Amino acid sequence: MGRFKEKKPRRSRFHIDDRPVDEAEMMAHAAQISDTVDDHGLLLFMDDEALGFGRVATGVAADGTIETSDEEEPFPVALFEPARAMMSQAPGQDPREIQVEGAIMSGLRRLPRGIADLRESPGWQLHRLTDERLELRSPDGGVYSRITVPLDPAWISSALHHRSVLCLYGPQLGVRLPPDRRPDQYTAADRLAEIRTARGRGLVAAGFVAFHNNR
């Protein structure tokens, strides 16, 4: 064939479940995922071993030691795990999850591995609905995620006491069981490993969110 070699077919830039698709199908798929706000969820407290955050500090001693108190009510945490991830990768950059990036652009903070720099997220709200679901709303008032979970009275009491909940959003928070595991086989250490992996990949958005009890 000399200088003129047969051209290889161009690889698709878009894939759904490892299946190459065109841009139109990809956009339709993305819109469908974006419109789905009913996600998987889990309620924990900040000192849960599955999170690895430890206890809430109540002060700093003169020698620099972090102080905690057994009398301080545990801080409530809500995990929001979307059923489907939408990954994107720009040339020369790490892969990102589009829904997580949207939450960060709206005011949540990326939660990397290592020291957890957790802060308030102005405008974000967590609503307890009359049907006992929890709804995470972005500053524009839109529903970003909604979960149906058993509401532990102690968790609700803590949320009312603190008037705030630490919310984590991402596709890899250890909420869903792996297909080859039973609930009794998926330990707090397993969940912690999954969350740490997600934090290391930049796939977790987090922030302290104002709690609203609509009951």
Q: How far is CA 19 from the centre of its chain?
A: 26
User: What is the pairing mode between strands 143-147 and 164-169?
Assistant: unpaired
Helix (H) or strand (E) holding 134: strand 134-137
For the chain, how long is the longest CA-to-CA vector?
81
Extents of the domains making up the chain: 14-213
Query: Can you read off the two tokens belonging to residue 81?
Result: 């795990």
Per-residue pLDDT of the chain (215 residues; tens, 9 = 90+): 444 445 544 554 544 455 564 545 445 544 555 567 889 999 999 999 999 987 666 666 676 665 565 667 789 999 999 988 887 777 777 888 889 999 999 999 999 998 888 999 999 999 999 998 999 999 999 999 999 999 999 999 999 999 999 999 999 999 998 888 888 889 999 999 999 999 999 999 999 999 999 88
User: What is the pairing mode between strands 59-60 and 66-67?
Assistant: antiparallel
Q: How far is CA 74 from CA 71, 120, 125, 158, 211, in A?
A: 9, 17, 20, 7, 15
Name the H helices within the chain: 23-35, 98-105, 153-162, 188-200
